[in-house]
Amino acid sequence: MGLSTTAAAESWTNWAGNQHATGIEVQHPRGTAEVVDAVTSAAAQGKGVRPIGSGHSFTAIGRPRDVQLRLDRHDRLLSVDRDTGLVTVEAGMPLHRLNALLDAEGLALTNLGDIDKQTVSGAVSTGTHGTGAAFGGIATQLRGLELVTAAGEVLACSAAENRDVFEHARVGLGALGVLSTVTLQTVPAFAIHAHEYPAPLEETLDRFDELSTSHDHVEFYWFPHTRRTNVKVNTRVPIDGGLKPLSRRRAWWDDDFLSNTVFGGLVAAGSRVPALVRPAARVAAAALGSREFTDVSHRVFVTPRRVRFVEMEYAVPREAMLPLLTELVAVVEASDWRIAVPVEVRTAAADDIGLSTASGRDTGYVAIHVPPGSPDQAAYFGTLERLAAQVGGRPHWGKMHSLTSTELRDRYPRFDDFVALRDRLDPSGVFANDHLDRLLGVPR
């Protein structure tokens, strides 16, 4: 089957609605050969190419100059080895489909974030992560990949082959080439016992270190303009021990009605009438009660998200996370801002990936959110950036930030190694865009 092209100019908008592109050429390749054809054809015409998955990044990382490769048809399961747990998929596979396919094979990813709409390529390329002091992000689960370079070469990369490329392409920002396939290390399917409960902020801060070392996956949400948090403590348990999932009614009430319908209504009302935001925050903080359940891992990791927002997240040394949050709380409480969306706090283990936000250090994450168009975004986001800068904070590659190559070089010990590899693989900037030029410098 030949490459599917679009003659007429198209437009693109990301999930949050804050990034746009118009007048672009869109390709929908199916299979590695069509990815190669799309890249080499565009390069021969002097056009820039950007691959895109589900558009869940808040930054302009996926915005194309000329040609956008939408990987929605490049999404097959290629192989499953139940003995080794190695699973190979085309890079456009959405995480929610991958989770279902692994479920059917008695396998699972060892850790996930709380959104599963991203493609595998988008998730690994931007450093998507979940939480867990002993667990890394999704990219740490990669054991191999195929990368289509600007010259149309297909590089097979692993710890044994093209290792220098593999080390960096696991979190490659789409700057080194197009991920065509990825091989992931899965584990036997497991269940998670979830305990979620509201708690005062001071209690959560006091207990967090103990909780995060005695349980597998711990996070909490702080509701601005209150002293309330919602704590999630998840413990891995054998799947053959029996499942006790939430009833359909309770799941609908908590995760659909309260967390999306009601919360979305409160956010929308606050956007129209800002004076409602602070009382609405108190309502939202009081609405969630305690619950315990046990279910298949991905059903616990993932939470439905239908309320649109814009997000910034900074990764800081683990020991700096709670002091940073305490400072952020103080600034918010002293401000006249109206922050409608909770702050999310998570952890991750150190890894060895060059541009991973957890590269070389155990990491804490503080994520802040505002509704699109919030008048407080600039001041609020600027405050987190200022606080994070004091402790060497690294921004999530798919979330809002203002850093350039100058600041990023100081925060990533292997930054120049990544840029040198980018310059070798893509000297003409086929995969560049304005956003990457700001982050990495112009290819040379």
Contact 61, 174 (CB under 8 A): yes
Average pLDDT on 34-58 reads: 96
Cα gap 139→424, rounded to integer Å: 23
Average pLDDT on 47-52 reads: 96
Binning pLDDT at 50, 70 and 90, where does residue 7 land? very low
In the predicted model, is pLDDT for residue 16 greater than 50?
yes
Average pLDDT on 277-304 reads: 87
Report pLDDT digits (tens) over 420-441: 999 999 999 999 999 999 999 9
Burial of 327 (0-12, 13-18, 19+ CB in 10 A): middle
Residue with tokens 């292997």: 414
Tell me which H or E stretch contains 363.
strand 363-370
55: region left, alpha or beta (phi > 0 left; psi from -120 to 50 alpha)? left
Query: What tokens were used for 21?
Result: 């592109």
In the predicted model, is pLDDT for residue 2 greater than 60?
no
Mean pLDDT, the chain, rounded, equals: 93
Structural domains in the chain plus CATH codes: 75-188 (3.30.465.10), 191-395 (3.40.462.10)
Cα gap 146→130, rounded to integer Å: 24
Q: Sheet containing 217-222: which strands, arranged edge to edge?
A: 291-296, 191-200, 228-237, 217-222, 343-348, 363-370, 310-317, 394-395
Report pLDDT digits (tens) over 231-287: 999 999 999 999 999 887 777 666 776 676 666 776 777 777 788 788 877 877 777
In the predicted model, is pLDDT for residue 125 greater than 80?
yes
- What is residue 5's predicted lDDT score, i.e. its pLDDT? 43
In the predicted model, is pLDDT for residue 330 greater than 80?
yes
- What is residue 322's predicted lDDT score, i.e. its pLDDT? 98
Q: What is the pTM of this model?
A: 0.94
DSSP 28-74: ---SHHHHHHHHHHHHHTT--EEEESS---SSSTT--SSEEEEGGG-
CA angle 41, 44, 49 (to 5 degrees): 60
Contact 217, 133 (CB under 8 A): no
Query: What tokens were used for 395?
Result: 């921004």
- What is residue 258's predicted lDDT score, i.e. its pLDDT? 61
Least confident of 4-18, 165-179, 184-198, 228-242: 4-18
DSSP 309-346: -EEEEEEEEHHHHHHHHHHHHHHHHHS-----S-EEEE
- What is residue 190's predicted lDDT score, i.e. its pLDDT? 98
Q: What residues contact 134, with CB distance under 8 A and at least 6 apart? A: 216, 349
Q: Sheet containing 142-148: which strands, arranged edge to edge?
A: 77-81, 86-90, 178-185, 142-148, 154-158
